[in-house]
Amino acid sequence: DSGVTQTPKHLITATGQRVTLRCSPRSGDLSVYWYQQSLDQGLQFLIQYYNGEERAKGNILERFSAQQFPDLHSELNLSSLELGDSALYFCASSSGTNQPQHFGDGTRLSIL
């Protein structure tokens, strides 16, 4: 158990819809990262937050947004969903810069 909790584990929805993925980091970790794993793109960094502030953005679509709340949990919002958004979305947290990132079990998103 990594200590990082992601909900839900599975999500099935239709094109055009909006979903919210939730992540609770390990106790004490201030950094939260979101990654997308798909068959064609592999594991790709989306966005990073540190103590409530956005720190870095990767290949994140404009239809996607995220935030980190004062209690340090984070949410990833995906809107106007397309078939190509079907993927496994991971959240990770770490205790400091360049420390190991510990990953949640992921949310598997299926767009029908």
Partner 1 sequence: AQKVTQAQTEISVVEKEDVTLDCVYETRDTTYYLFWYKQPPSGELVFLIRRNSFDEQNEISGRYSWNFQKSTSSFNFTITASQVVDSAVYFCALSEAGNTDKLIFGTGTRLQVFP
User: Do residues 58 and 47 touch, judged by C-beta distance below 8 A?
Assistant: yes
Alpha-carbon gap, residue 22 to 26, rounded angstroms: 13
CA angle 19, 22, 28 (to 5 degrees): 160
- Of 7, 13, 20, 45, which one interacts with partner 1 (CB under 8 A)? 45
Examine residue 75 and tell whether it contacts partner 1 (CB under 8 A).
no
Q: Report in angstroms how near the CB of residue 78 gets to partner 1 at its nearest.
A: 19
Examine residue 12 and tell whether it contacts partner 1 (CB under 8 A).
no
Q: Report in angstroms how near the CB of residue 62 gets to partner 1 at its nearest.
A: 19
With a CB cutoff of 8 Å and minimum separation 6, the contacts of 15 are 81, 82, 83, 111, 112
Which spans of this chain sit near partner 1 (rule: CB under 8 A)?
Answer: 2, 31, 33, 35, 42-45, 48, 55-56, 58, 88, 90, 92, 94, 97-106, 108
